[in-house]
Amino acid sequence: MNCRALRVPRRRGEAARRELLDRGLLRSGIRIRADGEDLLLPVVEGVEIPTGWGPVEAAELDPAPAAPARDYADLLKDLAAEEPALPRSFDVIGDIVLVRIPDHCTIEPGRIGEALRAFVPGARLVGADRGVHGPGRIRLLDRLAGSGSWATVHSEHGLRLYVDLERAYFSPRLAHEHHRVASEVRTGEVVFDLCCGVGPFAAHIARDRRASRIVAVDSNPDAIELLERSLAALPAAAPVEARTQRVEEFLAGPEVADRAILNLPHEGIKYLGPLMGRVARGGTIHYYEITPRGRVADRGTELVSESGAGSVWRCVSARKVHAYSPQSDLIGYTLERGT
Ligand SMILES: C[S@@+](CC[C@H](N)C(=O)[O-])C[C@H]1O[C@@H](n2cnc3c(N)ncnc32)[C@H](O)[C@@H]1O
């Protein structure tokens, strides 16, 4: 492209570049070019260059390569400045990217999708996440960019999980929690993973091979089928019995665990009391619930009293798993039964 350029000898090149930059005279976005023993430095159009710095002339210079984007919003620069509602965060599940677009965002969703697909390495498909619905907690998704199905393989702490967002619930935001709970399992324990979805807790625990047996239960047969595929791909693992069953039916049975996971955040409380009756002395429950900020400490104590379990159970910790709304978080409560 044709530009105004300052001609300086190469040996003065760096000093001249700095002086131009300091005074705001160096034109950005254009490459400096060597010409024999001289350099041609692009200068801002229409301003005086101090006499004595060298001749200013018209030159053919190349545009500088664009700096790599640090944020996907950099790819929407023309729009992002006026758009405070542009979503700042997104989730990556295998080769799928999910983003929640606020109702008042005026940028065309397809453009956000294309920007995310260009920004996230390996992204195949980008969807707008409109939240989970129904008993299976399946996501409502709008396709924004890319192609193919909503099925993918997601890697979490080196574990490969088969996921199909159209058929079963999965959230990558619990990755640390899946791993943390698995790391607490002791040798020989029997573990229940209730409302297991595609079974990330169960699969992590199975891979670690300390549990003697894991029973994973979900009412959605598609979730159980995906868990079975993930387990089949594990080279060596503790035995997992994956069951399509309602948790209330399962809890009416005779089996007893040393550790149980119950992750059904809006309704799990219905099953907490019956579950406490199915956990052995000295056992542990990892229970998940959406809790308003500021209520977490009290809620831990309430869980035990609401479940009607009496003084044999106590809440030993309550940890934030992730933010849920501006006023509430998903909290992981650890409940222990005395010996
Ligand atoms: C929030 S998801 C939990 C997913 C999983 N624990 C995880 O960490 O990814 C809740 C799951 O509970 C299952 N579910 C809902 N009601 C149920 C019930 N009454 N009995 C068994 N499963 C149920 C849904 O199918 C869904 O997979």
What residue ranges do the domains of the chain occupy?
Answer: 2-60, 72-148, 170-337
- pLDDT of 261 strictly over 70: yes
Q: Where are the beta strands (DSSP E) in 249-310?
A: 257-262, 279-292
Per-residue pLDDT, 72: 72
Residue 67: band (very low, low, confident or very high) from pLDDT cuts 50, 70, 90: low
Question: Do the strands 125-133 and 138-146 form a parallel or antiparallel pair, or are they unpaired?
Answer: antiparallel
Partners of 126 in beta bridges: 97, 145
- Would the CB of 251 count as within 6 Å of ligand 1? no
Contact 189, 214 (CB under 8 A): no
pLDDT of residue 83: 59
Given a contact cutoff of 8 angstroms between Cβ atoms, the answer to whether 39 and 32 are in contact is yes
What's the pLDDT band for 79 if we cut at 50, 70, 90? low
Per-residue confidence band for 85, with pLDDT thresholds at 50, 70 and 90: low
Retrieve residue 84's tokens: 């405070």
Q: Whose structure tokens read 């035995």?
A: 239
Q: Which CATH class is domain 72-148?
A: alpha beta
What local confidence, expressed as pLDDT, does residue 137 receive? 94
With a 6 Å cutoff on the Cβ, whether 264 touches ligand 1 is yes
- Residue 307 beta carbon below 6 angstroms from any ligand 1 atom: no
199 ligand 1 Cβ < 6 A:
no
Task: Please give the pLDDT value at position 318.
Answer: 96
**pLDDT band for position 269 (cuts 50, 70, 90):** very high
Any atom of ligand 1 within 6 Å of the Cβ of 137: yes
- CATH number of this structure's domain 2-60: 3.30.70.2580
Position 50 scores a pLDDT of 87
Ligand 1 pocket residue status of 223, Cβ below 6 Å: yes
Of all protein residues, the one whose alpha carbon is nearest to atom 13 of ligand 1 is: 195
Atom of ligand 1 nearest to the CA of 196: 6
pLDDT at 215: 98
**Ligand 1 contact via 30 beta carbon (within 6 Å):** no
Mean pLDDT, the chain, as a whole number? 92
Q: What is the pTM of this model?
A: 0.79
Asked if pLDDT for residue 82 goes beyond 60, the answer is no
At 160-202, the pLDDT tens digits run: 999 999 999 999 999 999 999 999 999 999 999 999 999 999 9
Above pLDDT 90, what percent of the chain? 74
CATH, range 170-337: 3.40.50.150
| Ligand 1 atom nearest 265 alpha carbon | 1
How do residues 105-146 score in pLDDT, each as one tens digit?
A: 778 889 899 989 988 989 999 999 999 999 899 999 999 999
For residue 97, give the amino acid letter.
V
CA of 193 relative to ligand 1 center, distance in Å? 10
Q: Measure the CA–CA gap between 264 and 285, rounded to whole angstroms.
A: 13
Residue nearest to atom 1 of ligand 1 (CA): 264
